[in-house]
Structures are given as C-alpha cells and as structure tokens.
Chain A
Amino acid sequence: MNPGVQGEFKIVFTGPMGAGKTTAIAALSEVEPVRTEVENTDRMSHDKEFTTVGLDMGRITLPGGQVVRLYGTPGQARFRFMWDILGRGAAGAIILLDATQAGVLVQLDLFVDAFAAHVPRGAIVIGLGRTHQPGALASDAFAERLEARGFTLPVLSVDVRKRRDVMLLVETLACILEAQTTEGLPS
C-alpha cells in the first residue's frame, strides 16, 4: 500500500468538470488549499468561470490523528496525464459526479476505470452531487451500473459545499482502508 510518512496518506478527488473537486477540498481542508484554476474558455462543456488545470492540494487531520493529504485532479480528459500522476501512490479515490449532467454514467465508468488502476481494490467512494435537483439520475442507477461491471462501491449523495458531507466521504474511504489492513490505516 501507500508508502509514506507514518500515519499519513494520500487520497485523490476526481471526476468530471464542474463536479466539485476544488469546492470539496476547499470545504474540508484545514489549511488554505493550493489551487491551479484558470479561466475556462470551454463554456460549451461547462458554464463556469474557472477550471482546474493542474491540481488541488489540501490536508485534513482525522479524529484518530491520521493526516490525510487531499489531492484534486482536473476533470477534462485532455488532462488524463494528471490523473495518472496524482493517482500514483494514492491510498484511495473519491469520485465526484453531478447527477444532473448528461452522460454521467459514462463518466462514472471512465473515472472508475482510470483510478481502479492506481488504488487498492475497492478503495473508491462515489459522491453524487445535485441529487435533489430536477433531472438528477437516481442513485440506484449508479449502484446498478457499478454492480453490472463487477464493482461494489459506496455511493453517497453529497453537497460538496458542505464540509460535513465531504468529511463523510473521506471517513467512508478511511473505513474501507481500515478494513483492508490489519494494522488499521495504511502507513
């Protein structure tokens, strides 16, 4: 598993453009996160002003004292090389999705496949955003899609702007990691 400073490990927030990776890390991090956002010129793909082209980086100390380094990826496929750079050595991944976005199940497949290659088996949690908005795909559809492809992963409905929701994602992932190792969290 993830070698590194004892009691410290790295998780990656990933998912498509506008899912809320930068927002989630800003909501949770106990230090001012590093951001690499620039002007978004592709308003056809997502109508927001800024987009991440490098990485997000923050940190959270869990109640048990473990320090978790939080990394966020860019969302667009042209930044795939960053997914691989950031995925390397990660203890787990949190895939954020916008349940109202067209093609969101295809996005789910894309990110699960990309990060299953980097993290230990099963160390992925799915965070579904905007599930209460009109046009949102029911969360069952995500679980079924995963199951059909042989993945059993937690799917949680979250608001990435809420620290508590993002914390729940991280704690869920931490529980999975703990269950996977006899000595507790990876060190």
Chain B
Amino acid sequence: MTPASRNIGRLSREFARRELATLVGTTGVRSAVLFSADGFEIASQATDSAAAARLAAIGSSLSALGSAIAAEAGLRDFERTMIESSDGTVLIMRVHGTRAMSLAAVADHGAVLGTLLWATQRCCEALGRIAGE
C-alpha cells in the first residue's frame, strides 16, 4: 500500500482509474496520472508505470510552485497550469476534494486544446466528487 492510497478508498481507486480511462480516450490524450500534493501516484492510465510515478512527483512540484507564484502575485490558490511543447501538452489541474490532489494529462499534437481542457476539467470534477465522499 502506497502512503497516498490513504487519500482515496479502494473502491474509489477503481473508479478513479475508470475516470482516467475516459480521459485517455479523448483524442490525442496519451496518459493521465492522479497524484497527491506530496507527489505520490494515486491512480494512473499510462503504459510506463515508472514514468507515471515520476510525473506524479514533478507534477506535485509544479502544483506547489503554481501556488507559490499565485500567492506571490496576490492571487488565490493554484487551479491549473499548462506546459506546451512543440509536439504536445501537459496539463496539470487541481482536484477539489477533502485531500489535496492534482491530475496530470499528457497529450500529443493530435489533441485539440479546448477539448483537452474541457475533458480534464470534467475528469477532475468527477474525481473531486468521489474524493469528497
């Protein structure tokens, strides 16, 4: 049992995996990882599990840096950040729930930005509902 599994019950983890599968079904979305604020993978849809664990750690750093820069600018808490590269996008979005969690979605150039945002938002809302229970 990973420490982060305390964040979310066993049944909920199955549910989370299904929600992530729906997200990965979106055109261009290659993988998705749900992670705790301190960088542990909670659930993922990715072919490479070591890569998913690394994405969870880096994603948590980016979320925390996002919160730090928002605070510095006098803004409220971090909601999302997007890393755009020449051949794809990584979207990191906060999941609202009882425990602090975020979701990272990796998409290639085949993804439409608006669709990626919408699908990830929808996934986060669904995950927030189960995590809040």
Name A's B-contacting residues (CB within 8 A): 34-45, 51, 53-55, 74, 76, 78-79, 81-82
Interface size on B, residues (CB 8 A): 25
Query: Which chain B residues in 52-68 approach chain A with CB under 8 Å?
Result: 53-54, 56-58, 60-65, 67-68
A residues within 8 A CB of B56? 78
A12 → B minimal CB distance (Å): 15
Do B72 and A42 touch across chains, with their CB atoms under 8 A apart?
no
Given contacts A53-B61, A54-B61, A78-B53, contact A38 B37 (CB under 8 A): yes
A residues within 8 A CB of B121? none
Q: Is there a chain A Cβ closer than 8 Å to B128's Cβ?
A: no
Q: How many A-B residue pairs have CB under 8 A?
A: 66
Do A53 and B39 touch across chains, with their CB atoms under 8 A apart?
yes
By CB atoms of chain B within 10 A, which of A41, A42, A55, A76 has the most? Answer: A41
Q: Is there a chain A Cβ closer than 8 Å to B38's Cβ?
A: yes
Known: A41-B6, A79-B61. 19 other contacts (CB 8 A): A34-B68, A34-B72, A36-B61, A36-B64, A38-B60, A38-B64, A41-B36, A41-B38, A42-B40, A43-B3, A45-B3, A51-B38, A53-B57, A54-B68, A76-B39, A78-B39, A78-B57, A81-B54, A81-B61
In angstroms, Cα B3 to Cα A41, docked, is: 6
B residues within 8 A CB of A81? 54, 57-58, 61
Q: Nearest CB to that of B53 among chain A residues?
A: A78
In angstroms, Cα B4 to Cα A160, docked, is: 29
> Secondary structure at chain B's binding surface: helix, strand, loop or mixed?
helix
- The contact sample of 20 A-B pairs, CB cut-off 8 A, is A35-B68, A38-B37, A38-B38, A38-B64, A39-B37, A41-B3, A43-B3, A45-B3, A53-B57, A53-B60, A54-B61, A54-B62, A54-B64, A76-B39, A78-B53, A78-B54, A78-B56, A79-B39, A79-B57, A82-B61
> Secondary structure at chain A's binding surface: helix, strand, loop or mixed?
loop
Q: Nearest CB to that of A34 among chain B residues?
A: B68
Q: Nearest CB to that of B5 among chain A residues?
A: A41
B residues within 8 A CB of A44? 3
By CB atoms of chain B within 10 A, which of A38, A43, A51, A79 has the most? Answer: A38
In angstroms, Cα B38 to Cα A36, docked, is: 10
Do A36 and B4 touch across chains, with their CB atoms under 8 A apart?
no
In angstroms, Cα B36 to Cα A53, docked, is: 11
B residues within 8 A CB of A37? 64
Given contacts A53-B61, A78-B53, contact A36 B7 (CB under 8 A): no
